[in-house]
Amino acid sequence: MSDNSLILSKSNADTFCTIQLTGSKSESNRALILNALSKGKVVVNNLSSADDTVILNGVLRNLEAGKDDATFGSGSLTQSDGELTANIGPAGTAMRFLTAYLSVTGTAAVLTGTERMKQRPIGILTDALGQLGAKIQYAGQEGFPPLRFSKEFKQVTNKVNIRGNVSSQYITALLLVAPFLEKGLELHIEGELTSRPYVEMTLAMMEEAGICYNWQGSVISIDNQDFKDSQITIEPDWSAASYWYAIAALSKDSKIILPYLKAKSLQGDSRITQIMEHFGVQSSFTDEGLEIVKTGDAPRGAFFDLKDCPDLAQTVIVVSAALGHNATFTGLETLKIKETDRIKALQNELAKLGVVLREDGEQYHLECSDLHFPEHVIIETYEDHRMAMAFAPLALKIQQLEIEEPAVVVKSYPTFWDDLQKAGFTINS
């Protein structure tokens, strides 16, 4: 065992528990921007404890209070040589949403993040903001963070073109600030729109905050308008729920209750209910919450398109591998620019079980003919919370599952390891 790892095991293969999940980080981070732009008219309830949310909240609260020497989670706001720097650590949504927010509010600051964040592209968003009139400079490599924002913002047009196939977060960032823009926004999305449910979530939450919009074909228009006094209540995180589906799927028998998840969710990752039917897990919404049960009866799915729910990819691919289901996946293009290159990370770690994830143009084939479960496997996590959480359920199949850098889970699900213990997993460090 290395210094920074934990060993996970489970003495029996049945899982019966009730787990209270934290709020959705996607909903929370949208709500925080709406709260800040509305000057508090939009009130947020049940904010996520995800580090990505703690960071965005910290930046916004400290900017509001005029502070310049604060740390919050793995983020900070500091002043040096007369320049204010916001460090948002690994939080993609914080980086993208703040890029739009700092631009249009004319906040002179530098926005930076982890070394990985400096490799995650942002040029599509800075170009779009440039079309609106923002003056953003690259403080490092062109097209990537860190970014330097200027004190002045003068809107020159409301028409903006943006590519839709790299990250929906660029589009969400622009939509969130649109009601604040003097001339409003007419956003023309070019090409395919990836992660579409996240854009739908943004607009639905803006509607809750009293904002009217018009979405026709590939054009979304939002006029300059005021927010209304409103309350937004954040639903628990469906991406976090997906790991409990994986645990149910790999258990012999299971009944897991996840309170407050809704059948009609704004989160596209609620698609996990349908996907997991293919792995023998059934969902029902009861008075106690979402109940997930292993039935074992599975219409074997052999093809999954995850373009609408990329954050489910690791969960679903690992479950499929562990059950020995060969399958083909599409819609995985954006995985290479997330917390790590998730395709490479999956390929490396699945190889330890004899499973191959073979790239074939836009398709990825999962080939499980050599699947085996060694007694002790070490899983690397690549600074990616979802690598740790997607592989953890394998402790139901592997006697000693060692997870490197387990603290990565804090990004979206800080109590993940505690919750596993509640569910009967044993953790040794």
Ligand X SMILES: O=C(O)C1=C[C@@H](OP(=O)(O)O)[C@@H](O)[C@H](O)C1
Ligand Y SMILES: C=C(OP(=O)(O)O)C(=O)O
Give the residue numbers marked as catalytic: 311
- Of 31-39, 88-96, 122-130, 182-190, which part binds ligand Y (CB under 6 A)? 88-96
Neighbouring C-beta atoms of residue 144, cutoff 10 Å: 17
Restricted to residues 71-110, the positions that interact with ligand X (CB under 6 A) are 93
Contact 343, 335 (CB under 8 A): yes
Phi/psi class of residue 334: alpha, beta or left (left: φ > 0; alpha: ψ in -120 to 50)? alpha
| 221: enclosing H helix or E strand | strand 219-222
Which does residue 172 touch among ligand Y, ligand X, none (CB within 5 to 8 A, set by kind)?
ligand X
Which does residue 334 touch among ligand Y, ligand X, none (CB within 5 to 8 A, set by kind)?
ligand X
Our finding on whether 406 is near ligand Y (CB under 6 A) is no
Q: Which is nearer to ligand Y, 195 or 254 (CB)?
A: 195
| Site size toward ligand X, by CB under 6 A | 12
Our finding on whether 35 is near ligand X (CB under 6 A) is no
Q: Using omega within 30 degrees of 0 as the cis cutoff, is the peptide bond preceding 146 cis?
A: yes
Backbone angles phi, psi at 13, to 5 degrees: -100, 15
Our finding on whether 52 is near ligand X (CB under 6 A) is no
Restricted to residues 301-330, the positions that interact with ligand Y (CB under 6 A) are 311
Smallest Cα–Cα separation from 404: which of 392, 414, 419? 392
- Of 61-69, 132-140, 164-172, 292-300, which part binds ligand X (CB under 6 A)? 164-172
Q: Which is nearer to ligand Y, 277 or 383 (CB)?
A: 383
Our finding on whether 172 is near ligand Y (CB under 6 A) is no
Torsion of CA 81, 29, 241, 364, to 10 degrees: -70
Q: From residue 40, give the alpha-carbon distance in Å to each of 35, 61, 285.
A: 5, 11, 33
- Of 71-79, 90-98, 152-160, 296-304, which part binds ligand Y (CB under 6 A)? 90-98
**Beta-bridge partners for 6:** 403
Neighbouring C-beta atoms of residue 161, cutoff 10 Å: 13
Distance CA 293, CA 251 (A): 10
Q: Is 350 exposed, middle or buried (0-12, 13-18, 19+ CB in 10 A)?
A: buried
User: Which residue's beta carbon is nearest to the bound ligand Y?
Assistant: 92
Our finding on whether 237 is near ligand Y (CB under 6 A) is no
Strand 219-222 to strand 185-190: parallel, antiparallel, or no bridges (unpaired)?
A: antiparallel
Out of 312, 338, 345, 413, the residue judged to bind ligand Y by CB under 6 A: 338
Out of 35, 195, 254, 320, the residue judged to bind ligand X by CB under 6 A: 195
Handedness of CA 148, 149, 150, 156 (dihedral sign): positive
State the nearest-atom distance from the C-beta of 298 to ligand Y, in Å.
26
| Contact characters 353-392, ligand Y, x per CB under 6 A | ---------------------------------x------
Out of 38, 62, 87, 168, the residue judged to bind ligand X by CB under 6 A: 168
State the nearest-atom distance from the C-beta of 77 to ligand Y, in Å.
19
Smallest Cα–Cα separation from 72: which of 84, 60, 82? 60
Our finding on whether 15 is near ligand X (CB under 6 A) is no
Our finding on whether 167 is near ligand X (CB under 6 A) is yes
Backbone angles phi, psi at 283, to 5 degrees: -115, 145
DSSP line for 178-192: GGGSTT-EEEEEESP
State the nearest-atom distance from the C-beta of 117 to ligand Y, in Å.
8
- Say if residue 228 carries a ligand binding annotation: no
Per DSSP, 268 falls in state G
Out of 149, 153, 180, 198, the residue judged to bind ligand X by CB under 6 A: 198
Count CA atoms closer than 13 A to 141's CA, side-chain side.
Answer: 10
Which does residue 168 touch among ligand X, ligand Y, none (CB within 5 to 8 A, set by kind)?
ligand X
Binding residues for 3-phosphoshikimate: 25-26, 30, 167-169, 195, 311, 338
Binding footprint of ligand Y on the chain (CB under 6 A): 91-93, 311, 338-339, 386, 412
Binding residues for phosphoenolpyruvate: 25, 92, 120, 169, 342, 386, 411
Binding footprint of ligand X on the chain (CB under 6 A): 26, 93, 167-169, 172, 194-195, 198, 310-311, 334
